[in-house]
A and B are shown apart, each in its own frame.
Chain A
């Protein structure tokens, strides 16, 4: 997958968890919890969806690595290379 495809997949899954968040309106620097107001249950659902879609396992200790779309894309690229 390319970086753009990973970003699109990440934003798409955010939209599934929170249907009122438009993928196009989210910038790379926006914080999932502080800016987009996802709660811990939403984050868990997002992580579960990414697990199924990208076959990437994100442990709880790595949640800070996906706190913004920008960080998440870098993290997911690294994860997908190693798995």
Chain B
């Protein structure tokens, strides 16, 4: 199996993995959509219809039934609309990135709806549980003892004393008794006792009711989830009553659940976008790589002692290291970012596109090195020489004879005899960019102006690049300046001595 076949096989496998990942992500997104719909349905139900236990009131007559059905239709349609919009927004985020206002609206409203309905559900659940609690029912059924039953003996005594006092007063009128003070005092004493007893009884009843209600509250509170109870106790602290914080705890916990759900749902949209980008990149890379000839692995690479630069940052648009690495290893040919963009996982091991010519072992004495430089062996460029008319150095040009030397054209690059320029898509992979630009200017495909050259460079390097790095105009302008600088050194262009604002700043000399 050739390197290319292996490479293609690996890329196909990677593509299948990405596709499976994407399918799973889409399935989860659909599940998220369904869940969102149900949660919104619950929210709308609580908002417009109230708790289901109270719905029996809607079925009393035809008018109330019609109102109920109408409200149900609104509830369902609104839930469908809201969940669909949210689903669409998340898919949109996957494709086009997040929009802060939409994200905050969608997620904020979803959070509110979810913890609104969830917290209401917690209360309903707690009520249902407490209604079924026998201990709670027992507290409801306990009746206080009537005061009359408790004081039957005292009432009888009062009645007897009042009867005796009445007889005494009758005898007093007849002259049979001297006074009735004793009987009257007894009646008063008994009545006073009755009042005291009644007061004590009332106090006892009040205390008993307090205990009963406290027990009912305790049982109601205990019907909540232990996590909610724990959080309520934490919120209440040492001195507070945890039962006062139950609602707050319910809101916080349902909010936490809703936030987790929204984060995961939003992650799915991000995952969808990343998967799609990876699949598209891989498909593009596969298409490109399938059309390329078998890559030539570098051989007979010279052994060098590179000076390591562990902290060195790469230059440019996230391209691979631009350090001269012509002799770093047999399995690592030189690739440029825009050449190997579509195959990020395997580019380090399998060459695509631009490959460096065979490197010969250098016989030169090792020159002194700077702290940031490394001595590398020179590649075998015995098959090319500079041409007189394109060199920046007159001294070098004078020593050259064009006819005797093998054809080397710096304008057309070392890798290709002729740059392949596609006016629409830019330069083919593996082609040196500067000679391609010179050719494009000569052919009239690119004007030798600042803007046109910048656009041309960007078009050449941007098609396979992604992300904000493609918009680094400052760096592209540095490339443009370097091109102009070389072109002027080579006598291809010069600054317009008669330049005026709006006119041509540079003149192209070679046509």
Partners in one complex: no
Q: CB within 8 Å of B: which residues of A?
A: none
Q: CB within 8 Å of A: which residues of B?
A: none
